[in-house]
Amino acid sequence: MTTALVRALGDLAHRAVHPAGCGPRACPTPSVLAERDDGTVVRSGPVVAKAHAAGTDTTALAARLRLAAGPGQEGVLLAPLSAAPGAHLTELHGRPVTLWPHGEPVDPGDPDTAPWEEAGALLARLHRTGVRGPLPAMHGPVKAALAVARMRAARPGGPAVAPVLAAWHGLPGWARGETAPPAGRGTYLCHGDLHLGQLVRHPAPHGAWLLIDVDDAGLGDPAWDLARPAAWYAAGLLPPDVWLRFLDAYRAGGGPAVPADGDPWPALDVPARALTVQTAALAWAKSAAEDRAPDEVEQVMIDACARIATLPPELAAERTS
């Protein structure tokens, strides 16, 4: 089924590029950009076809696609292409499928050119967007809960499980996806899964940076979109100067997740803890699936959970209740 799906995605992307066929010149073979349970992505020239996860809520996905294609997101979100006549969503092999223009991704081999300032500025613009029409909740807390469940299923025992679960249970219910966000914090438009892999240049290769992948976008606490880089910074994986470049760009753009000046951590503490747990849980599950010990970076995040687990539970209860 996977091979058939990849072939069908390549055919769909190819038809979007050459609706009348290639003519006398042969076209390049479509290439697989990603092949995971949560998304299979195939490129044909300037078009990318994505099969979303099986069981995706297509009503919610359609609302997210309308958001990305609608007014107000120019220069912020990459807009989808028509996957079917009059629609941005179609289906192949029982999976919802979307089409997108190809963008140039961040170069993982050149960290000095990573667009941290651009990411901060884009997030600020996204968070300040006025919401038109109904939107689902962003998936941030839900993704953290799924990561913990995946860890439990993949490797229920071992030295990482106890500290990760202790850090998890020390979080307030809204950060575990069990209750609504604090009053006034759940009404902002959020990306829901921000990391550098969610930025591309479009038009490729030298266009403006845009955010991609709206699968987790929706209404929520904007601090969640800053939580992954905040967690990396707290764990020592993101240098302080890089963190400040990102944070300063976000603040310069009027982002509402943190105060305009002063200590940002009261707003970021709980989401950053949750993303630390999510990252550590996925690391433990991945290492189990590959029958190996966690690598150095994965172990850093697991160790960070051990430190978090020693802190008073729900340290920020006063400001989040």
Over residues 110-118, mean pLDDT: 93
**What percent of the chain shows pLDDT beyond 70?**
95
Q: Measuring CA to CA, which residue among 223, 212, 159, 161 is closest to residue 190?
A: 223
Q: ∠163-216-6 over CA atoms, to 5°?
A: 105
Quick: pLDDT tens for 120-160: 999 999 999 988 778 999 999 999 999 999 999 988 888 88
- Is the pLDDT at 321 greater than 50? The verdict is no
Over residues 42-65, mean pLDDT: 95
Q: Strand, coil or helix: what is 131?
A: coil
- Give how far Cα 157 sits from Cα of 126, 164, 218, 284, Å: 40, 11, 35, 10
Q: How confident is the model at residue 184 (pLDDT cuts 50, 70, 90)?
A: confident
- Is the pLDDT at 315 greater than 60? The verdict is no
Strand partners, 120: none
Q: Strand, coil or helix: what is 101?
A: strand
Q: How confident is the model at residue 25 (pLDDT cuts 50, 70, 90)?
A: low
- Is the pLDDT at 27 greater than 90? The verdict is no
Q: Give Dmax over CA atoms of the chain in angstroms.
A: 69
